[in-house]
Amino acid sequence: DTAVSQTPKYLVTQMGNDKSIKCEQNLGHDTMYWYKQDSKKFLKIMFSYNNKELIINETVPNRFSPKSPDKAHLNLHINSLELGDSAVYFCASSPTWGDGTEAFFGQGTRLTVV
Amino acid sequence: KNQVEQSPQSLIILEGKNCTLQCNYTVSPFSNLRWYKQDTGRGPVSLTIMTFSENTKSNGRYTATLDADTKQSSLHITASQLSDSASYICVVSFSGGYNKLIFGAGTRLAVHP
């Protein structure tokens, strides 16, 4: 019954590695997002996709590459991981991309780079 | 600079008591303001969403207020329960499409028996 699901929940990896986080939503929503929650607990948007098309890219390093094979999935691939990439990454979805639409969040993926 | 500031940073109350959390924002142009509850180790869950024209909105024991003139909002929790222990995050959305959200750092609430 999980609406927005992310895998894995925890990810520990060494600097320089490449890793992916997967996200799936079964709500039939058109829009999906990736957010990063830093150590100060602020969530900041990274990417937004609407019907598989990129609509927001918030000056994220190009080591981060989202991929949306269909509108129910938005995966995040990270190349050459750095210590500063350690954070909790949240996937979210909303019915549309317009103002005021409700966003539903996954449970988060805690990434630790050592 | 578009920012959302919340106070207090953390709060401890006894079960059954009421509390009020504050949010000030400078986001412009403004579309709507939301309050989310985030349990430890979980994603945020929406409590309320208010547009420019709405002054108050309730969801059970949670009541949010909005003063768009002073750019302030509050979240009042009535008759707190142990399960209310969580972070409460104020989120403001830009007007103009794309559902772009600006998050506050949250207020961490601990309800003690």
List pLDDT tens digits, range B35-48.
Answer: 999 999 899 999 99
Reported as a single tens digit per residue, the pLDDT across A36-64 is 998 877 899 899 998 888 887 787 889 99
Say how far apart CA B6 and CA A114 lie, in whole Å: 32
- Chain A CB within 8 Å of residue B89 CB: yes
Chain B residues with CB-CB distance to A4 below 8 A: 43
- Chain A CB within 8 Å of residue B93 CB: yes
Task: Assess contact for B106 and A41: CB atoms under 8 A.
Answer: yes
**Is B1 a residue whose pLDDT tops 80?**
no
- Chain A CB within 8 Å of residue B11 CB: no
Taking residues B85-89, report their average pLDDT: 97
Taking residues B23-28, report their average pLDDT: 90
pLDDT at residue B99, as a whole number: 67
**Peptide linkage before B8 cis (omega within 30 of 0):** yes
pLDDT at residue B63, as a whole number: 97
Return the structure tokens found at A101. 């639409």
- The residues of chain A scoring below 50 in pLDDT are none
Name which of B44, B49, B97 is nearest A97 (Cβ-Cβ): B97
pLDDT at residue A1, as a whole number: 62
3 state SS of A58: coil
Buried b vs exposed e over B49-88: b needs ≥16 C-beta within 10 Å? bbbeeeeebeeeebbbbbebeebebbbebeebeeebbbbb
**Is B97 a residue whose pLDDT tops 70?**
no
The DSSP call for residue B52 is T
Name the nearest CA neighbour of A93 among B106, B99, B89, B60: B99
Taking residues B99-106, report their average pLDDT: 86
Q: How confident is residue B94, by pLDDT bands cut at 50, 70 and 90? A: confident
- Chain A CB within 8 Å of residue B49 CB: yes
